[in-house]
Structure 1
Amino acid sequence: MFFVIWQGWGLLAVVIPLLCVIPFAGLGNGLGLGVGLLLGAAVNAYVGHRMNNQPGKVYIDRDTGGEVVFRKKHTLFFVPMQYISVLWVVMGIFMLLNAH
């Protein structure tokens, strides 16, 4: 049994690279998979960065006067989705190096 833990739109960290691999599937021998994963990593890093750096809501605590900022998180296994792109880059480079 395998569990996937995500917050917000963090599941897109898997969906985006998989969708980017589809157009390059015809290249064969790992070349298409490698190129697709590298492209997916770039798209995922951009989308994750944009989504995780949105301004949050600021609330003021009446008792202490301190500010508390609430913002949405988009994570996969508690890792922000833009950092999952490092995994996709490593896998893409591995696939390109092993393409015949």
Structure 2
Amino acid sequence: MIIWRGWGILVLLISAVLGGPGTFAAEVLLGPDLMNFGTAGGLALAGIAVFFIGQRLNRPRPGYHPATGQPVMFGNSHTFFFVPMQYWGFILLGISLVTTVVTLVGQL
């Protein structure tokens, strides 16, 4: 079961759109043994994209309280598995780093 709120599903979609073609491109260019470098590169790009998109979507917006008319800041909540979208950028970069290290160790 995939849990998201707002546009949080973009984390999965961006990761698939950037990670998948990176894997196939690396398999063609580097061979099947090193195709995980393409996955790592695609996930790194996805992490950067998700961070900036999450920052933009989750920024607070000024508004007015409907009952009192006082100015307030409304926060958006775009999450994927209860984690705000912009933090998934760091998680994806971490997964990319782990994938790179595991692939390098596997080549030894």
Shift of 1:18: 1.4
Q: Is the 8 A contact 2:65 2:72 kept in 1?
A: yes
Which AA in structure 2 matches 1:70?
F
Correspondence 1:15-94 to 2 at 5 A: 15-25=13-23, 26-28=25-27, 29=34, 30-62=36-68, 67-94=71-98
Shift of 1:59: 1.4
Greater CA deviation, 77-86 or 49-58?
A: 49-58
Unaligned 5+ residue runs, structure 1? none
Q: CA RMSD in A?
A: 2.0
Shift of 1:54: 4.9
Unaligned 5+ residue runs, structure 2? 28-33
Aligned length, in residue pairs: 96
CA deviation profile, 1:46-77 (whole Å, cap 9, x unmatched): 10101111515321533xx7555434311112
Q: Is the 8 A contact 1:46 1:82 kept in 2?
A: yes
Q: Is the 8 A contact 2:58 2:77 kept in 1?
A: yes
Q: Is the 8 A contact 2:60 2:73 kept in 1?
A: no
Distance in 1 (alpha carbons) for counterparts of 2:60 and 2:87: 16
Please give the TM-score of this superposition, normalised by the length of structure 1. 0.80
Which structure dedicates a bigger proportion of its chain to helix? Answer: 2
Bigger relative CO (Cα 8 Å, ≥ 6 apart): 1
Identity %: 28
